[in-house]
Amino acid sequence: MTKQQANWSPYDNNGGSCVAIAGADYCVIAADTRMSTGYSILTREYSKICKLAEKSVMASSGFQADVKALQKHLAARHLIYQHQHNKHMSCPAMAQLLSNTLYYKRFFPYYAFNVLGGLDSEGKGCVYTYDAVGSYERVGYSAQGSGSTLIMPFLDNQLKSPSPLLLPAQDAVTPLSELEAVDLIKTVFASATERDIYTGDKLEIVVLNADGIRREYMELRKD
């Protein structure tokens, strides 16, 4: 008698793309708002962006149920931290917390591709990019999700800066201004929408800077 195989999978892919760009004193995090399953669209207005702390915003694509669970978990841990330390978590601390949280599910991973953006303790923009099991790295810009293979090469072309591993060290922050970065994001999503079926409908942009947090929307193609 042959071994019984599972006839369902605990995972699904809801698609979508997320991008974040770090600047000298700002950070832009953006994601489309389409949620799909297979060839169907579940909704055109689902936000993939979540504010985890005062200066940390996460955008995640992949399986949104896992993303929701992950966001809840991190929000709870952040609340505990606030009670224990009487302050908000810094972005680098939240970055490591996210990495550990993802790795604790190493044998039953969160199917979530995350990009964390925010301001570090000096007020400079920082972006952390993750794989699904928690390996992470601080970078100047990143894209994750179904459109990432279309978006990343374009961002490399426009924003590529010297690697932080080079010795003597060279500064790695994007030289763009905030308005230029937001404009670049809009361009990038318009292009990704053209060629990725899972990206489209509406673009949600969150900008973090010293003045606080600001949200912006742009319509994308709905086909």
Question: Whole-angstrom distance between the N-terminal and C-terminal Cα of the chain?
Answer: 48
- Select the span of 25-33, 44-52, 134-142, 183-191 touching other proteins (CB under 8 A): 134-142
- Select the span of 6-14, 30-38, 201-209, 214-222 touching other proteins (CB under 8 A): 6-14
Residue 164, preceding peptide bond in cis (omega within 30° of 0): no
Please state at what angle helix 64-85 crosses helix 91-103, rounded to 10 degrees.
130
> Under the criterion CB under 8 A, does residue 167 sit at the interface with other proteins?
yes
Q: What is the Cα–Cα distance from 40 to 136, expressed in whole angstroms? A: 32
> Under the criterion CB under 8 A, does residue 41 sit at the interface with other proteins?
no
Pair 46, 220: CB distance under 8 Å: no
User: Which one among 37, 47, 100, 177 touches other proteins, defined by CB under 8 A?
Assistant: 100
User: Of 123 and 164, which CB lies nearer to other proteins in the complex structure?
Assistant: 164
> Under the criterion CB under 8 A, does residue 125 sit at the interface with other proteins?
no
Q: What is the Cα–Cα distance from 137 to 140, expressed in whole angstroms? A: 10
By CB under 8 A, name the binding residues for other proteins.
Answer: 3-6, 9-11, 77, 80, 99-109, 111, 129, 131-137, 139, 149, 163-167
